[in-house]
Amino acid sequence: MKELYGKMVYETLGEIVDPKHTAVIVVDMQNDGCHWDGDFARHGFDISEKREMIPNLVRFVEEARRAGLLIVWTMNTNERAGRSLSPAWLYFRLRESKHGVVPGYENDIEGTWGQKIVDELKPLPEEPIVKKHRSSVFVDTSLNAILRSNKIETVIIAGTVTQGCVESTARGAAEHDYYVVILSDCVASQRHDLHEAALKVLASRYDVVTSKDVIAEWTRLAARTA
């Protein structure tokens, strides 16, 4: 920790990811985007990198629970009858479809199997699930209220898709005054090229580390306070 302009600023990864003030945000690990029977895979999108990442994320969530962190899950959600789709957002999704990024806008629909979180990751009853209608989970959701209520200072971000909801959420988190840590081995996309480009930009702005790096810090901290 160092003092800058009269404020205490963390310096090391260990200080930043202290379980006392850190939340894990698991972004959009839902069936439509991450299951072989989901909308993306059925339309021929390659979700193999998302599938490969899931075991890392499962292990990380288990460790985070053991270390006592707040865990928040997000569900990208389109209300039924298109009620959360603005003309501009429809244009955005249709355009992304034309560019081979997503299979249209009829996915993650409220109340459907596609909207649900994949079976491998089982949110516990006490872990908040935040519905969002846009890429960033900081836009028009309850997330900030939940984080603030728990005096969270740092968010660790995992999930999908790297260049979309993960990057947007990371930017939102930083701009709402959280330290931001992104797990390189727990984020993925159906477009590997956009995943790589996004990680390059993210690493230039925020701490991009592996889940093992973070777990090692928790282990070190537990040993010191044992």
- Among 49, 96, 120, 127, contact with other proteins (rule: CB under 8 A): 96
Shorter beta-carbon distance to other proteins: residue 7 or 224: 7
Residues 50 to 69 in contact with other proteins, rule: CB under 8 A: none
Phi, psi of 5 (to 5 degrees): 50, 40
Among 124, 151, 204, 225, binds other proteins (CB under 8 A): 204
Say whether residue 205 binds other proteins (CB under 8 A). Answer: yes
Non-local (6+) Cβ contacts of 153 within 8 A are 21, 22, 178, 179
168 binds other proteins (CB under 8 A): yes
Taking CB under 8 A as the rule, does residue 101 contact other proteins? yes
Choosing from 139, 149, 220, 222, the residue that interacts with other proteins (CB under 8 A) is 139
What phi and psi, each to the nearest 5 degrees, are found at residue 99? -90, 10
- Catalytic residue IDs: 28, 132, 165
Select 59 or 134, whichever has its Cβ closest to other proteins. Answer: 134
Applying CB under 8 A, which of residues 203, 219, 220, 222 lies at the interface with other proteins?
203
Under the binding rule (CB under 8 A), the answer on residue 135 touching other proteins is yes
Give whole-number Cα distances, 87 to 102, 105, 146, 175, in Å. 17, 12, 30, 27
Among 18, 51, 89, 121, binds other proteins (CB under 8 A): 89
Q: How many CB atoms lie within 10 A of CB 119?
A: 9
Do 190 and 46 form a contact (C-beta atoms < 8 A)? yes
Tokens coding 186: 């727990």
Cis peptide before 139 (omega within 30 of 0): no
Residues 23 and 91: their CA atoms lie apart, in Å, by: 33
Nearest approach in angstroms of CB 117 to other proteins is 22
Q: Which of 66, 90, 113, 149 binds other proteins (CB under 8 A)?
A: 90
Residues whose CB is less than 8 angstroms from the CB of residue 86 and which lie 6 or more positions away in sequence, other chains included? none
Chain residues that interact with other proteins, rule: CB under 8 A:
4-10, 16, 81-82, 85-92, 94-96, 99, 101, 134-136, 139-140, 153-154, 163-164, 167-168, 171-172, 174-180, 191, 193-194, 197-198, 200-201, 203-207
